[in-house]
Amino acid sequence: MMKRVLLSLVCCLLSVVALPSELSFKVKSKYLNLPISQDAERRKLTFQAKGVDDLNVVARLSPEPDYWVFKDLTAYKGKTLTITFDGPEEALSLVYQADTIRDAQKMYQERNRPQFHFTTRRGWINDPNGCIWHEGLYHLYYQHNPFEREWENMTWGHATSPDLLHWTEQAPVLFPDTIGTMFSGSAVFDKDNTSGFGTKKNPPLVYAYTADRSDKETQCIAYSLDGGMTLHKYEGNPVIDSHDKWQTHDTRDPRLFWYKPGGWWVLVLNERNGHSIYTSDNLKDWTYQSHVNGFWECPDLFPLPVDGNANDVRWVMYGASNTYMIGSFDGKVFTPESGKHRFSTGTIYAAQTFNEVPDGRRIQIGWANIDHRGMPFRGQMLLPTELTLRTTKDGIRLISKPISEVTSLLKPLYSSEKALNGQEVNKALQPYQSQDCVHLRATLNLTYATSAGLRFDGQTLVDYDLNHNTLNGQFYSPQDPTSLSLTMDIYIDLTSIEVFIDDGLYSYSMERRRAINTPQRPVIKGFEVWGTDINVTDIQLDAVESCWL
């Protein structure tokens, strides 16, 4: 009996605590600042105002915040906004509007803020979405949770840049709705206004994205008439619902492009066990054409000339984990000729290439799930790379190199062409050991078929084993199979490291780990090469300038 009374008392108390709390006010400022604790439970948070779609998310609002996030209030300006929270009132009562983001004065100077990679000001990011160049700006949209530094509430965040390095974060553009949360997708410039969303004079940018719901995923479109800054969802959404056909929840990540030879739009969609091709004349009505098995998530499909020869163009079909096939494409069917191959490993995932790049380069940007310990944000984009197709000893392969713009960030520190032995290199590089953001290009030459490598602050960046022919555990054989040399192009930011081998034939990325210095295991600061009787040639060491200062 006593137990029952106690139980009902606890239930009663709980229901009092869980009562939705409410806050209503006239929006006068640009931002709403919200207190977040990773220890608080996720509770329903609702935003309602006349003339703006209701927004339902979950958030860890807390009266004892670890950090603050913000919501852009532009869409609510002058309106009465009602916020309902299914959690403690003391948490909601701390929420306030202001023209500044809380702690903005320290923004981009935080201890673990990447200095030459894109990160969001607050919250979580994953896949790049809607990558496109338009009227002088690169647009990078991305999977975003503005309400905490973990995955949830998928929203499209947005950033713009003139050079793919210096980014300005803009207000998010797509928010969860009743069709689903906003999963990955892409963007095209509909210059002939085939969709009718714009006018001949002001043609639209058109976006395709997945709406994810617990029962199914469907494909939707949206458009922008102001150069990608605000998006409008099409009232006829969803435009593709293939759930019943594929008997799966997993149909997502539409990748749009214009197929010039045929004069129609193509949408590549991951469905169940591979990528499907759909075509359309107006970006609204889609016809299924074909399917290629063997991929999961985030399709990409693009043409590239082989060795720069415009008369020998191949198509690359790509999946989320950097596996790709090379083949031909007639606008409706992709026919694989070789694959699957992989040119990059490590933290890179869900990379997407940009549409409409004015000089025709195929530029790719990938996501890395980097923690940035202790920061109010998580995840980053890796360096944008230019993709090309080259004939190699193994056949035609993708080559990936940082875009040439990256060199504008490099400030020379040291260089040497002549061969230095291990001890000499370590000594030569020692004066620069406290550089935090650094680039090193060098050729490592072995003389024994054993192993050699390179560490930075005690972390292994290169571990080349010529007995097993492995590079950091992955099989690697240089173009000249008898070569004992390896050219390394290494970019070190505060929390991540990218390594490009032999001019982009193979690359990998990793989290930068700050090794703990103990008397038993002292950490050697800066670069340290190792290996029996090795030497290093063509050394170029640079500081990498911050993109935020």
Q: What is the smallest separation between the CB atom of 126 and ligand FRU, expressed in angstroms?
A: 5
Q: What is the smallest separation between the CB atom of 380 and ligand FRU, expressed in angstroms?
A: 14
Provide Rg for the chain, Cα atoms.
Answer: 26
The answer to whether residues 481 and 442 touch, using CB atoms and an 8 Å cutoff, is no
Question: What mask, x for binding ligand FRU by CB under 6 A, covers residues 95 to 134?
Answer: -------------------------------xx-------
The answer to whether residues 228 and 187 touch, using CB atoms and an 8 Å cutoff, is yes
Among 108, 2, 109, 85, which residue's Cα sits nearest to residue 36? 85
Task: Answer positive or negative: Cα dihedral of 408, 413, 418, 421.
Answer: negative
How many residues make up the chain in this entry? 549
CA 30 to chain centroid: 27
Q: Which is nearer to ligand FRU, 126 or 400 (CB)?
A: 126
SS3 150: coil
Contacts of 200 (CB under 8 A, 6+ apart): 192, 193
Q: Return the residues of window 236-265 that contact ligand FRU according to CB under 6 A.
A: 252-253
Residue 273 found at the interface with ligand FRU (CB under 6 A): no
Phi/psi of residue 308, nearest 5 degrees: 75, 5
Residue 184 found at the interface with ligand FRU (CB under 6 A): yes
Contacts of 130 (CB under 8 A, 6+ apart): 139, 140, 141, 156, 185, 186, 187, 207, 209, 228
Q: What is the smallest separation between the CB atom of 151 and ligand FRU, expressed in angstroms?
A: 7
Residue 188 found at the interface with ligand FRU (CB under 6 A): no
Q: What is the smallest separation between the CB atom of 369 and ligand FRU, expressed in angstroms?
A: 9
Q: Which is nearer to ligand FRU, 153 or 161 (CB)?
A: 153
Buried b vs exposed e over 148-179: b needs ≥16 C-beta within 10 Å? bbeebbbbbbbbbbeebbbbebbbbbbbbbeb
Q: What is the smallest separation between the CB atom of 534 and ligand FRU, expressed in angstroms?
A: 39
Task: Answer positive or negative: Cα dihedral of 216, 155, 184, 190.
Answer: positive
Q: Which is nearer to ligand FRU, 87 or 346 (CB)?
A: 346
* Interior angle at CA 277, CA 199 and CA 248, nearest 5: 110
Q: Which of 67, 147, 183, 324 binds ligand FRU (CB under 6 A)?
A: 183
Where are the alpha helices (H) located in 52-179, listed in sequence order? 89-92
Question: Residue 51 carries which side chain, given as an amino acid letter?
Answer: G
Count of residues that bind ligand FRU according to CB under 6 A = 14
Q: What is the smallest separation between the CB atom of 192 and ligand FRU, expressed in angstroms?
A: 29
Q: Which of the residues 127, 212, 300, 493 is marked catalytic?
A: 127
SS3 44: strand
Q: Which is nearer to ligand FRU, 59 or 298 (CB)?
A: 298
Residue 276 found at the interface with ligand FRU (CB under 6 A): no
Given the DSSP bridges, would you call strands 344-346 and 506-511 parallel, antiparallel or unpaired?
parallel
The answer to whether residues 146 and 73 touch, using CB atoms and an 8 Å cutoff, is no
Q: Return the residues of window 308-327 that contact ligand FRU according to CB under 6 A.
A: 320
Q: What is the smallest separation between the CB atom of 170 and ligand FRU, expressed in angstroms?
A: 19
Q: Which is nearer to ligand FRU, 175 or 183 (CB)?
A: 183
Q: In this structure, what token pair is assigned to residue 297?
A: 């998530």
Q: What is the smallest separation between the CB atom of 323 and ligand FRU, expressed in angstroms?
A: 14
Report the C-alpha gap between 191 and 361 in whole angstroms: 20
Which helix (H) or strand (E) covers residue 423, if one does? helix 422-429
Q: Which is nearer to ligand FRU, 154 or 188 (CB)?
A: 154
Q: Which of 298, 396, 410, 420 binds ligand FRU (CB under 6 A)?
A: 298
SS3 455: strand
Q: Reduced to 3 DSSP states, what percent helix, strand and coil does the chain have, rounded to the nearest 5?
A: 10, 50, 40
Q: Which is nearer to ligand FRU, 350 or 541 (CB)?
A: 350
Q: In which region does residue 325 sit, left (phi positive, over 0), alpha (psi from -120 to 50) or beta (all else)?
A: beta
Q: Which is nearer to ligand FRU, 21 or 242 (CB)?
A: 242
Q: In this structure, what token pair is assigned to residue 217?
A: 């995923």
Q: Which of 72, 103, 297, 463 binds ligand FRU (CB under 6 A)?
A: 297
Q: What is the smallest separation between the CB atom of 399 and ligand FRU, expressed in angstroms?
A: 24
Q: Which is nearer to ligand FRU, 33 or 184 (CB)?
A: 184
Q: Which is nearer to ligand FRU, 47 or 183 (CB)?
A: 183
Q: Which of 92, 125, 179, 350 binds ligand FRU (CB under 6 A)?
A: 350
Given the DSSP bridges, would you call strands 535-544 and 410-416 parallel, antiparallel or unpaired?
antiparallel
Q: Is position 127 annotated as part of the catalytic site? A: yes
Report the C-alpha gap between 48 and 50 in whole angstroms: 7
Q: What is the smallest separation between the CB atom of 297 and ligand FRU, expressed in angstroms?
A: 4
Q: Return the residues of window 131-160 that contact ligand FRU according to CB under 6 A.
A: 143, 154
Residue 210 found at the interface with ligand FRU (CB under 6 A): yes
Kindly list the catalytic residues.
127
> Which residues of the shown chain bind ligand FRU in the complex (CB under 6 A)?
126-127, 143, 154, 183-184, 210, 252-253, 297-298, 320, 349-350
